[in-house]
Structures are given as structure tokens and as C-alpha cells.
Amino acid sequence: MKDRLVHDLKDVSARQIEVFRMVMRLGTANRAAAALHVSQPAVTQILQQFEIRSGLKLFERPKGKLVPTPEAHALMEEVERVYDGLDAVQRKIVALQSHEETVLRIGSLHALAASVMPWALTEFQRSYPRTRCQLLVDSSKVLREALFQGAVDLAFLGDEADTSGLVSSLFYQLAAVCVMPAAHPLARKSSLQIQDLREVPLVGLSSLDPAQRRLEATFAQAGIEPRFVIETPYSATQCALVLAGAGLAVTNPLVAREYVALGLRCIPLAFSLPFRALLAFNPRQAQSRAAQEFVSLCRRHIVRSLPEGSLSDELLNP
């Protein structure tokens, strides 16, 4: 008997439940048939099949009318809860399709936050107006931990970052530039040799910065004792200090370009000194379409903002 009951319940269909619900809501088989765009006999037949399969008497039928039994009312409460859940699922699908209620959490180095991020975020909002963005600007160490803790969805890290346990790739490798006031004598040069910076007051990056260490190594190889007068962890602060007359700075070209309109010149270097950034994700966290599009926007802005040939093909087309 129990096996027979289980078999019958497996044969209860979604269509039978739908018809039952419509009859309960509208009160008659005729109204339910009109709402479901089927015939009244079809509704009556489906209800009978539902009662047989469920093993429940759901309606009394005095003079052809359908009068719900207590069992029908109890079942209807559960059916409505199921349909409320289905409605919630449908609303969530629509919200996800339109990116409504979506939050994109981005971790960024200061150099990118001071150059690429304002433009990329503004353009991203035009395409995804319902997506709220959160931008965390901090050191590579802090951003790495934020990735592991799920506090950010993606992060742009310095090339000194420990990326073990993360999915990472080189996001850009750019040639450093030397920034200076337009009136400085070196501003007339098309490029600078390391010897041009001998005895020049320089605003340097932190001694822990990989680009700063590469610059100091280049000075050492040339037998030059550099004259660093100020040290700061941020390229934007370097440029602001140069603008104020504190000295020259070898810095990130993305940040330097933001200061050209304020009167600084960006002079290329005749020697190799790259600035690098990594793009990293937590492998346990799938990337949304919005996150992928944001990364593409950042990359496109870099391509637009720098001279042709500044970024290698493999970074332009990852």
C-alpha cells in the first residue's frame, strides 16, 4: 500500500497542481479554464486525475459545483508557498539579467586608482547602471588578504605581491617616464639617459617598491650616486611634488599622464625600467560577466591613454 502511494505521488504533475491552484483561486472550473486557455471538461478531468494521484478528496461536487474540502484548503496553503518561492526565483533571474542589486568589489593599487579607475568606473556605470561598485585602494599585501577573505572580487596588485593560492596574470608592463616641469632644461630632450639624472634632485618611490629598486640598481650599474631628496609610496604624490618644484621623478606613466594638463612633461627613458601590475582572482570565486567587462574597460583605457607601442600585444589581447 505504501509503495502504491509513493508511486501515485510521483505521477502528480505540475500541470495538475497549476489547474488545482487556479480553481481554488477563481472558484469555478469555467473561470479556471478561461484563465488557462483550455476547455472546462479538460479542467474537470485534470482535477479528477489530481485527486486520484494524490489519494485525497479535494472537492465536494453538489449539483456540479466544486466545493473545496478542508484537505484542499490545507494543500492550497502549501501550493501558494511554493509559487511564492518560484516568483522570488523569477524576480532574482530578472535582477541578475539586468545586474540589479549586483555589487562589484574591486581592489586596486594607488597608481591605478589615481589614473585608470576613475575613467573605467565612470564608463562601466554607463553600461551597468544598476551595478553598485566598491573600490578598495590599499597595498598589495592588504588586497591579497581581501581576495582570500572574499572582501573583493578582483584585485590589481603590484608585481612584488605573493600570488600563491590565487589565479593571477600580468595585467600591464609599462615603460617608466621621467616627469618634470615644462620649463626644466631636460624637458627639451626626446629621451633621457641614466647619466642625465646625475646630481638631479629626485622624488623617489618607497625603497620597497620594485620599480624603485630597479631604478636604484640602474644607477649603481652606471656608477652614479642618485640624489633622492624625498621618498613617497605613491606615484601621484611624486607628480604632485614635482609640480610643486621639489625635483624630478621617475614614475608610472599612467599616473604621469594625468598631470600633463597641469604643466608637467613626461620624458621617455632611454634605458629599460618597467612598471608592472598583476590582475588576481580568488580561484574559489567565479567571475561575473560584469567583472570581466570591467577588466576589459580598464585595459581599453590604458591602450587609449598611452602612446602606440607602449603596451605589448600579449597584454592587449590576453
How crowded is residue 291: how many other Cβ atoms within 10 Å of its Cβ?
A: 19
pLDDT bracket for residue 51 (50, 70, 90): confident
pLDDT at 300: 92
Evaluate if residue 310 carries a pLDDT over 60.
Answer: no
Q: Whole-structure pTM over 0.85, yes or no?
A: no
Contact 279, 152 (CB under 8 A): no
Q: With contact defined as beta carbons under 8 Å apart, do 72 and 59 qualify? A: yes
Residue 164: its pLDDT value, please?
A: 95
Distance of CA 245 to the CA centre of its chain: 39
Contact 134, 154 (CB under 8 A): no
**Cα separation values, 204 from 226, 227, 253, 293, Å:** 10, 9, 14, 34
Residue 263 pLDDT > 90: yes
What average pLDDT does range 196-219 have in this prediction? 96
Average pLDDT over the chain, rounded to an integer = 88
Structural domains of the chain, ranges and CATH numbers in brackets: 2-97 (1.10.10.10), 103-173+276-316 (3.40.190.10), 177-272 (3.40.190.10)
What is residue 153's predicted lDDT score, i.e. its pLDDT?
95
Question: For residues 256 and 264, is the Cβ–Cβ distance under 8 A?
Answer: yes
Is a pLDDT exceeding 70 seen at residue 159? yes
> At residue 278, does pLDDT exceed 50?
yes
- Confidence band, pLDDT 50/70/90 cuts, at residue 312: very low
